[in-house]
Amino acid sequence: MIADPQSLLKKHWGYENFRGSQESIIQSVMSGKDVLALLPTGGGKSVCYQIPALSMEGICIVVSPLIALIQDQVASLKKRGIKAIALTGGIPFQELVNLLDNCLYGNYKFLYLSPERLQQELILEKISQMKVSLVAIDEAHCISQWGHDFRPAYLQCKVLRELAEGVPFIALTATATERVSRDIMDHLDLRDPGVFKDSFSRSNLTYTVCVEEDKNYRLTRLCTESERSGIVYVNSRRSSVEISHFLNSKGISASYYHGGIPSQEKKKKLDLWLNGTHRIMVATNAFGMGIDNPNVDLVVHYHIPESIENYFQEAGRAGRDGMPARAVLLTNKTDEHRLMDQFLSSIPEPAFLKKLYIKLNNFFQIPYGALESKPFQFRFDEFCDRYGLSGKLTYNGLRLLDQNSVIALSPNFSRKTTVKFTCGKKELWSYLENNPGLTDTVQILLRTYGGVFDFETPINVSLLAKKSGLGEEDVLRSLEQLQKDGILDLKSKNRDLEVTFLVPREDDRTINIFAKKVRKHQEIRKEQLLRMLEYTRNNRKCRNRQLLSYFGERTRVDCGKCDVCRQDTRTDEALLEQVEKHILAALATEQQSSRQLIELLPFEEPIVLESLRNLLENDEISINNNNQYTLT
Q: How far apart are alpha carbons 543 and 548 in whole angstroms?
A: 9
Written out in words, the top-level CATH class of the domain with range 5-197 is: alpha beta
* Confidence grade of residue 496 (pLDDT, cut at 50, 70, 90): low
Give per-residue pLDDT as tens, 291-338: 778 899 999 999 999 899 999 989 999 998 889 999 999 998 888 888
Q: Classify domain 570-631 at the CATH topology level.
A: Arc Repressor Mutant, subunit A (1.10.10)
Same fold, 5-197 and 346-414+497-526: no
Pair 147, 176: CB distance under 8 Å: yes
Tell whether the model's pLDDT for residue 431 goes beyond 80: yes
pLDDT confidence of residue 312: 93
Which pLDDT band, with edges at 50, 70 and 90, does 416 fall under?
low
Query: Lowest mean pLDDT: which of 115-124, 453-462, 528-537?
Result: 453-462
Q: Is the pLDDT of residue 527 over 60?
A: yes
- Which distant-in-sequence residues (6+ apart) come within 8 Å of 495 by Cβ? 379, 380, 381, 415, 416, 417
**What is the C-alpha separation between 55 and 58, in angstroms, rounded?**
10
Whole-number mean pLDDT of the chain? Answer: 88
pLDDT in tens, 5-37: 988 998 888 888 898 899 999 999 999 999 999
Tally of CA atoms within 13 A in the half-sphere of 624 that contains its CB: 11
For the residues 439-463, what does the mean pLDDT come to?
Answer: 83
Q: What is the pLDDT of residues 536-550, one digit of tens each?
A: 999 999 999 999 999
In degrees, rounded to 5, the angle at the alpha carbon of residue 64 between the alpha carbons of residues 58 and 67 is: 115
Which residue, 566, 573, 585, is CA-closest to 614? 573
Architecture of domain 205-339+538-560: 3-Layer(aba) Sandwich (3.40)
pLDDT band at 626 (very low <50, low <70, confident <90, very high): confident
Question: What is residue 394's predicted lDDT score, i.e. its pLDDT?
Answer: 92
Q: Tell me the DSSP string of 77-96.
A: HHHTT--EEEE-TT--HHHH
All structural domains of the chain with their residue ranges: 5-197, 205-339+538-560, 346-414+497-526, 417-492, 570-631
How would DSSP label each residue in 281-320?
Answer: EEE-TTS-TT---TTEEEEEESS--S-HHHHHHHHTTS-T
Average pLDDT over residues 497-517: 90
Neighbours of 390 (CB within 10 A): 14
Q: What is the CATH number of domain 346-414+497-526?
A: 1.10.10.10
What pLDDT does 290 receive?
62
Q: What is the 3-state secondary structure (H, E, C) of 176-219?
A: CCHHHHHHHHHHCCCCCCEEEECCCCCCCEEEEEEECCCHHHHH
Residue 399 neighbours by CB under 8 Å, 6+ apart? 409
